[in-house]
Amino acid sequence: MKRQTVLGSLPVLLVLSGCGGEAGPECDSLDTRNAVVKVVSGDGNNALVNYAARHSSVVEARVNSASTEAEKLAVWEKARQGASYRLGDDISTNSRSKDQRAVTCSGVLSATVEDVTAQKQVEFEVEQAPDGTVSVSVSPFQF
């Protein structure tokens, strides 16, 4: 039986300070991009980075040279924590609410661990409250 890991098994929401504009939230703003990366990188069960770490020959060599299980686990954890993330240049706006306060978006997120980069399409929503506060939530995905 194949085990699938779900990213963000709990709903994840990040609140950003709004600029008070009337245009509504945008998928491709710097704040939105940073929020998506922060949500994914902060997930302890991040399937994307786990995949990259498992397929890295550099990480594998370090694990193989570790002598105890504790050292091996430390190598895995250090590799995961050292991952770098990037949300691709092309962000799609999938839909916009009638009141223009919420937008659903998608883009390709990359996680790099040493010599391996894994990519996955990620769906997210940007919502602007009446007070101008903007929140970003990332939909769980399977990898």
The average confidence (pLDDT) of the chain is 86
Gap between the Cα atoms of 8 and 140, Å rounded: 5
At 19-70, the pLDDT tens digits run 444 578 999 999 999 999 999 999 888 899 999 999 999 999 999 999 999 9
Strands, DSSP E only, in 24-80?
A: none
pLDDT of residue 8: 39
By the 10 Å C-beta count (0-12 exposed, 13-18 middle, 19+ buried), 140 is classed as middle
Residue 109 has pLDDT above 80, yes or no: yes
Gap between the Cα atoms of 127 and 137, Å rounded: 9
Residue 132 has pLDDT above 80, yes or no: yes
Among left, alpha and beta (phi > 0; psi -120 to 50; other), residue 71 is: alpha
